[in-house]
Structure 1
Amino acid sequence: MFKDSLRARLLLPVLALVLASVVATVIALAWVEANRVRVEAQNAIENQSRGLLSIFSVTHSIMLDRVRSSMHLLRQETDDQGTPGVGQPITVDGRQVNDLLFGGKPQGNQFQIVDSVTAIMGGTATLFTAAGNDFVRVTTNVKKDNGDRAVGTMLDPNGQVIGEIRKGLSFYGVVDILGSPYVTGYEPIYDGNHDKPIGIWYVGYKTDLDALSKVVSNSRVLDSGFIAMLDSKGKLRFHSNEGAAADPAFINKIIQEQPSDWTVQKRDVPNWGFTLVAAYPNSDIDSAIIRQTIWISLIGVVICLLLLGLQYVLIESRVLRPIKRLTEVADALSMGKMNNVIEEVKLKDEIGTLAKAIARLANSVRLAMDRLSKR
C-alpha cells in the first residue's frame, strides 16, 4: 500500500514540514497584512482630511483678506459721514431700538452705505445698534430666507462674536448667520461718551463651498465608510455621496451614537468651528483582512503544491528510479542473469555505494560460477 511504500515514507515527512512552514508563513503574512490594511485605512483618512483642511485653510485666508479690505471701506464710508452717536428710538421690522448716527445722520432703515460698500467689494455689510446688552441690525443687506433684508434681527446673543464685542474687541472669523456660514469681520463702534460700544461695523462673505462639497461627496473610506462635515452647530453640511453611507440620516446616526462596530474619528477645522468626521465600519477592515488572507493562503497552497511536486520529481528521479533499477538487477542476479549493466555505480551517494556493492556481488557470483564450470 502507498502508506507503507518508500515513496510515502519519503514524501509524508516532507509534506508535513512544507505544510507546517506554509501555515506558519500564512499566519505571519496575514498578521502583517492585517496591520498594513489598518495603516492604509488610517493613511487614507489622514490624506483626505489633510486635503480638505488645506482647502478650508486657503479659502479662509483668501476670504479673510477680502473681509479686511471691505471693513476698511465700510469704516471709511461711515467716517466720511462724521462721528458716531446714539439717535432717537426707531422701529426696525417691528423692533424698537435707538438709531445709530454718523455725523448726526440716522442710519436706521437707510441702506446707501452698506449697499455702496458691497457694490464695490461684494459680500454683505451691516450696521448694528446697541440694545441693552444685545445688538440689532438697523441697516443691512444680509437677506433672510424669504429675500427680505434682515433688519431688526439680533446678533446671536450666545455666539462667539458678542462676547468679544462686549469686551471691546474686534472679531474676524467664521460665524453662522441666519443658518449659513460666513467669513466675517466685526468691529465695535464707540462715540466717546459711553464705556460700552454703541454699535458694530460688520462685513462678511457667505462661503461658497461648492468645490469643497464636491470633494467631500466623492470621498469615501474603505468600502462603506464616509467623510462628513459638521458646522459649528453640529448640522451636517457635506458628506460622502457614495455607497451605503450616502444617507444623511444614517450618517447623523453614526456620528451621534458612535456604535462599537464603527470607527469614528473627529477633527476640528481651524478658524471655521467646523468638525471633520471620518468613519468606517470595522467589518470593512475585517473583510479586507479576510480577502488578503485568502489570497495569501491560495498562494501558500500553490507554493506547497509546487514544492511537493518538485520534491516528488527529485525523489522519483534521484531515489526511487535508481532503487527500482537496482532491485531489477538484484532480482535478475538471483535468477542467474549476471550481465546487467549497473550505471548507478557512477553515483557518489548512498545509492551509488549500494550499486557498487551489488556490482561486486554480481562479479563474485560470476567468478564462482566460472570456477564451478571448470571442474
Structure 2
Amino acid sequence: MFKTLKIQSKMLIIGCLLVVIPQLIVASITFIQNKLILNNTIEETSHLAYNDLDHLVKSVYGLVQSHQDVNQINIKNSLNVAREIAAKNGGFSFDEKTVRWDAVNQFSLAPTSIELPQMKVGNTWLGQVSNPLDNVLVVDRVRDLVDVTCTIFQRMNGTGDMLRVATNVLKKEGTRAIGTFIPGTEPDGRQNPVVAAVLKGETFVGKAYVVNAEYITAYEPIRDSANKIIGMLYVGIPLERVKSLRQTILNMVVGKTGYVWVLDSKGNYVISQQGKRDGENILNSKDDAGNPFIQEMIKKAKALKPGEIAEHHYPWKNPGELETRMKIARVVYFEPWDWVIGAGSAEDEFLESSTKLKAAAIRSTFLLLGVFIISLAAAVWVWTIVAKQITRPIVNLTDAAERMSKGELDINIDTSAKDEIGSLAQAIDRMQTSLKLAMSRLRKEK
C-alpha cells in the first residue's frame, strides 16, 4: 500500500513518524516513570499519614500510662499512710453497741435499713458524720497529709456489701457520702471487682466508680484480731483531677476536622471533641451505612493486647455537610482505666497530600498529551510544506515529460535548481532539445 502512495504522502508520513515516534517513546517512558513515582509517593505519603495517626494514639496511650504509673505509686503510698494513721490511733474494732444505717446502693440507689455494730478507731466510735466541716478520725488526717480521698468501709453481710461509715468523699449536695455502700454484686449480675479482690484478701488498685464519679483507687481489707475481713480501707483521687492530661488530649488535632476522643467500654464519652459531649452515651450510634460503628470500634479495641492499635473505616456525614465521607479511626484500649482511646479524621482530609499529587499527575499527563498533539500538528504542517517544495518540481517535470510525449516540444523547463531535481530538469531540457533537433531533421529529409 505504501508503494502506491504519492511521494508527497510518503514524505508526509515519514516526516511525521520521525517526529512522533521519538516523542511517543519519551512520553511513554516519562508517563511510566511518573506513574511509578506517583504510586510510590502516594503509598509512602499514606504510610506516613497513618503512622502519624498511630503515633498520636500511642502518645496519648503513653501519657495515660505514665499518669497511671505515677498515680498508682501515689495511691499505694497514700494507702500506706492511711493504714499507719489508723494503726497509730489504735486500729479498727467494733463496740458492743449497734447503730442503724439507712444504707443506699451506690449503683442502683436502692435503700436498705440495717443494724450494725459501731465501728471504732482505737476507743473512739467513728460516728455518722455527714457534715464536711466536722472532723472525722483517720480519713480527714489522710486528706490533709497526702491530698487524697479516704474512706473506711464496714462489712454489712456475708455477701460482702461494704458500707461507708467514715469518708471525705462528698455527694453532689456537698455532704459526706456515709451510708452509701458498694454491693458485692453489681446491677448487671457480675461480682463487683473491688469487693471480690478484698474478700480474697487482696489489695485492689485501679479505676473504680466511687459514689458518683470515676476514681483512681486502692482498696485493702480491714481485719479483726481473728484475721476475719470486717471491712476495707480506701484511698483515691478522681480522674477529673488529671486535668493536664485531659487538656492535652482536647488540644490534639487530626487533619482539618479530626480529633482525639476517649470512650469507656460502655460507650460513654470520657473526653469528646472540645468536651461538648462528655458523659453522653453513644454506644448505639450508627454510621451512614446503618452499622453500629461505636460498638464495632469498642469490640476491636478490647480484643487488642496492651499498646496494640486497631483500624476502623466508616461512612459519616457531619451536620451541615451535603455528602457522606469515609472516615478512618485508629483505636487503642487502656484496660486499667477502661478507656478506648481513638483518633480519627475524614480520609479525604487525611490523605489530602496524596490527592494533590494525583491531581498534579493528571495535569502532567494532559500537558504531555497537549505537547504531543501540538508537535504532531506542527509536524504535519511543516512536512506538508516541505513535501510540496520537494515534489512540486517533480510534478512539473512529470507534466512536462507527459506533454513532450504528446509532441509538445516548446515547453519551458525550469533548470535553475542546483540539486538532483535541477539535474533531472537539465536532462529533460537536453532531451527536449534533442527531440527538437531530431524532429527538425526528419522534416528536412521529407
Common fold, TM-score beyond 0.5? yes
Q: Structure 1 residues 212 and 57, CA, compared in 2 at 3 Å: closer, same or farther? A: same
Cα deviation, 1:162-191, whole Å, max 9, x if unaligned, reads 111111100111222233221111111111
Tell me what 2:405 maps to. none
Unaligned segments of structure 2, at least 5 residues: 1-8, 104-112, 130-135, 187-191, 295-313, 316-326, 399-411, 438-446
Tell me what 1:360 maps to. 420
Task: Give the C-alpha shift of residue 299 in structure 1.
Answer: 2.6
Cα deviation, 1:24-43, whole Å, max 9, x if unaligned, reads 88987887677567645533
Tell me what 1:237 maps to. 270
Tell me what 1:267 maps to. 332
Equivalent residue for 1:211, pick from 225, 239, 244: 244
Tell me what 2:387 maps to. 323
Q: Structure 1 residues 240 and 128, CA, compared in 2 at 3 Å: closer, same or farther? A: same
CA RMSD of aligned residues (A): 4.3
Report the residue type matching 1:119 in the other structure: D
Kindly indicate whether residue 152 of structure 2 is the aligned counterpart of residue 102 of structure 1: no
Kindly indicate whether residue 285 of structure 2 is the aligned counterpart of residue 253 of structure 1: yes
Q: Structure 1 residues 372 and 294, CA, compared in 2 at 3 Å: closer, same or farther? A: closer
Q: Structure 1 residues 23 and 364, CA, compared in 2 at 3 Å: closer, same or farther? A: closer
Contact 1:81 1:102 in 2 (8 A): yes
- In structure 2, what is the Cα distance between the partners aligned to 1:246 and 1:184? 22
After the TM superposition, which of the residue ranges 94-103 and 9-18 deviates more from structure 2?
9-18
Report the residue type matching 2:61 in the other structure: L
Task: Give the C-alpha shift of residue 143 in structure 1.
Answer: 0.9
Unaligned segments of structure 1, at least 5 residues: 342-358
Task: Give the C-alpha shift of residue 66 in structure 1.
Answer: 1.4
Q: Structure 1 residues 364 and 19, CA, compared in 2 at 3 Å: closer, same or farther? A: closer
- In structure 2, what is the Cα distance between the partners aligned to 1:279 and 1:204? 32
Task: Give the C-alpha shift of residue 155 in structure 1.
Answer: 2.3
Tell me what 1:90 maps to. 99
Q: Structure 1 residues 369 and 173, CA, compared in 2 at 3 Å: closer, same or farther? A: same
Report the residue type matching 1:151 in the other structure: I
Cα deviation, 1:130-164, whole Å, max 9, x if unaligned, reads 11111111111111111111111112533321111
Contact 2:413 2:429 in 1 (8 A): no
Task: Give the C-alpha shift of residue 332 in structure 1.
Answer: 7.2
- In structure 2, what is the Cα distance between the partners aligned to 1:40 and 1:218? 21
Kindly indicate whether residue 234 of structure 2 is the aligned counterpart of residue 202 of structure 1: yes
Equivalent residue for 1:43, pick from 20, 29, 51: 51
Kindly indicate whether residue 79 of structure 2 is the aligned counterpart of residue 71 of structure 1: yes
| TM-score, normalising length: structure 2 | 0.64
Kindly indicate whether residue 170 of structure 2 is the aligned counterpart of residue 143 of structure 1: yes
Cα deviation, 1:201-230, whole Å, max 9, x if unaligned, reads 111111224333334334455565553211
Task: Give the C-alpha shift of residue 365 in structure 1.
Answer: 3.0
- In structure 1, what is the Cα distance between the partners aligned to 2:280 and 2:121? 48
Contact 2:143 2:150 in 1 (8 A): yes
- In structure 1, what is the Cα distance between the partners aligned to 2:395 and 2:282? 82
Report the residue type matching 1:365 in the other structure: A
Task: Give the C-alpha shift of residue 57 in structure 1.
Answer: 1.0
After the TM superposition, which of the residue ranges 65-74 and 320-329 deviates more from structure 2?
320-329
Tell me what 1:80 maps to. 88
| TM-score, normalising length: structure 1 | 0.74
Cα deviation, 1:49-80, whole Å, max 9, x if unaligned, reads 11211111111112122112211111111110
Contact 2:269 2:279 in 1 (8 A): no
Report the residue type matching 2:180 in the other structure: T
SS in 2 for 1:198: strand
Kindly indicate whether residue 205 of structure 2 is the aligned counterpart of residue 163 of structure 1: no
- In structure 1, what is the Cα distance between the partners aligned to 2:280 and 2:257? 14
Task: Give the C-alpha shift of residue 281 in structure 1.
Answer: 5.8
Identity %: 17
- Give the structure with the higher percent helix: 1
Task: Give the C-alpha shift of residue 296 in structure 1.
Answer: 2.9
Tell me what 1:339 maps to. 416
Q: Structure 1 residues 66 and 250, CA, compared in 2 at 3 Å: closer, same or farther? A: closer
Report the residue type matching 2:99 in the other structure: I
- In structure 2, what is the Cα distance between the partners aligned to 1:26 and 1:156? 68
Tell me what 1:344 maps to. none
Tell me what 1:297 maps to. 362
Report the residue type matching 1:140 in the other structure: T
Contact 1:176 1:232 in 2 (8 A): no
How many equivalent pairs are there?
351
SS in 2 for 1:142: coil
SS in 2 for 1:109: coil
Contact 2:81 2:142 in 1 (8 A): yes
Which protein shows a greater Rg?
A: 2
Equivalent residue for 2:141, pick from 101, 113, 116: 116
